[in-house]
Structure 1
Amino acid sequence: MMSTFTLSDWRDIRLVAFDVDGTLYSQRPLRLRMGRDLLIHTLAKRDWSAIGVVSAYRQKRERLAVEEVVDFDRVLIAETAKATSMSPERVQAIVSEWIERRPLRYLRNCLFSGVPQLFAGLERAGKKIGIFSDYPATEKLTAMGLAAHHVVAASDVGLLKPHAGGLQSLMDAASATAPQTLFIGDRADRDGVAGQRAGVKILIRSSKPIGAFQTFRTYHDPLFDPFMR
């Protein structure tokens, strides 16, 4: 277990960095809605290509993250194209539509309770709000009605989490040191490890304890009380 983050530690925090998917919004209802839409599309068009691409893309993305492949975007599209016997251009079009654009309409309704209030409170307190996501995040923030001072996606540095390059880039942009940074995520194996490598303070949103990391269940946890009034 890392050192416990307490209310008194907020005094030294300059940058609060957030992951997005599963951290700011619940992925389960989003996946159910997207699964429904994808199935309806597939049956109406009698075309299974979108389902095949989305499935292969996600599986390969997980592996490339573990292997910390440099320039992963190019490799990911090429490998997915090969696996689905499609052109890279067709794969990119399906990914852009089904993974990046179509989910946007549902995000606001999947937002975790307390997130808008926390963002507003951090802004009032003069804290820098950063986003460090494996996926493009700017349009997602807009769709959720949120704003951040600095946004870094994995594609900006060419490496997926748990590599800490994106988090370091975010700290550089915010002129924050590791002791001045708190990173909030939901995956210990990705967000947690990236935070450890960067030497920042870490909180993991989880309904269950995770041995090596400090967790919280909701954004109404007393840890966030100073910003929720």
Structure 2
Amino acid sequence: MDWDTIDFVAFDVDGTLYDQRRLRTRMAWELVTRTLLRGDFVTIRVLKTFRALREDFAEAEVEDFEPRLLRETAIATGATVTTVEAIIAKWMLRRPLRHLPACRYPAVADLFSSLARAGKTVGILSDYPARDKLHALGLEATFVVTADDVGRLKPHPQGLQTLMAEAGAKPERTLLIGDRFERDGIVAQRAGTRFLIRTARTEGDTTFTRFDDPVFTPILA
């Protein structure tokens, strides 16, 4: 990676900036405990259905997906749309925030600070609301675009294209850092940017395992 050719670095959030498996383990404990105490299985059904449908919608590149996603989740689970909205807001947006500091990946904060010192602009591209998560993680980004802002989920390129337009960044001088080839890798390719994917095992020059890996050394130094 020649960092002199990069002006704008865009990050995915979930699974990229923090350990999503650790977070889900913590949230699963809270959810199971609540379910056993109250005997209410609606929340689990809603969350499972919502996540599965969201993946399907991303693959199908559904436009203005949110209203339909809520409606189809409600139909599939027998809940009202209002109930679905409340469950998603509570269990996917608000309650996880308290756990995020403990789940943040090592060296993420150092990389963000180093990018700023090196004169690189930092942005966020996320399929979920991201601003409260960034605050909980103790991170700052100049530009933030989410799927809700553009009505499209990754790998549709509209979100990344919108983010670059807001930042005044050229695709050939933009780097997207994510954790899924089938989402972040493809959206970068479709938008004409470079990308790095965080994986458990390094596989070629487009992957890394930690935020203090050699690919980041020129910036961290």
TM more than 0.5: yes
1:224 is matched with which residue: 198, 216, 220?
A: 216
Equivalent residue of 2:156, what SS? coil
Q: Which residue number in structure 2 is paired with residue 3 of structure 1? A: none
Give TM-score, length-normalised by structure 1. Answer: 0.94
Match of 1:183 in 2: 176
1:70-219 matched pairs, under 5 angstroms: 70-210=63-203, 214-219=206-211
SS of the equivalent of 1:21 reads coil
Distance 2:203 2:165 in 1: 29
SS at match of 2:106: coil
The residue aligned with 1:22 is 15
Whichever residue aligns with residue 223 of structure 1, its letter is: V
CA gap of 1:75–1:210, structure 2 versus 1, over 3 A, is farther
Residue 43 of structure 2 corresponds to residue 50 of structure 1: yes
1:43 CA drift (Å): 1.4
1:138-157 deviation line (CA, Å, top 9, x unaligned): 00000000000000001110
> 1:227: how far off?
2.6
Task: For structure 1, list consecutive stretches of 5 or more residues without a partner in the other structure.
Answer: 1-5
Structure 1 residue 98: deviation in Å? Answer: 0.3
Name stretches of at least 5 consecutive residues in structure 2 with no aligned partner.
none
CA distance in 2, matches of 1:12, 1:51: 46
* Separation (CA, whole Å) in 2 of partners of 1:208 and 1:187: 13
The one of 45, 49, 60 aligned to 2:53: 60
For 1:200, give the aligned amino acid. T
CA offsets, 1:134-182, max 9 Å, x none? 0000000000000000000011100100001000011001100101100
- TM-score between the two structures when normalised by the length of structure 2: 0.97
Displacement of 1:14: 1.1
Between the aligned partners of 2:147 and 2:186, the Cα distance in structure 1 is: 15
Q: Check whether the contact 1:117–1:227 (CA below 8 A) recurs between aligned residues.
A: no
Please report the RMSD computed on the Cα atoms of aligned residues, expressed in angstroms.
1.1
The percentage of counterpart residues that share the same residue type is 50
Whole-angstrom distance in 1 between the partners of 2:218 and 2:67? 43
* Distance apart, 1:209 and its partner CA: 4.5
Instruction: Show CA shifts across 1:192-216 (max 9, x none).
Output: 00000000011001123457x7101
User: Do 2:3 and 2:219's aligned partners in 1 also have CA atoms closer than 8 Å?
Assistant: no
Q: How many residue pairs align between the two structures? A: 221
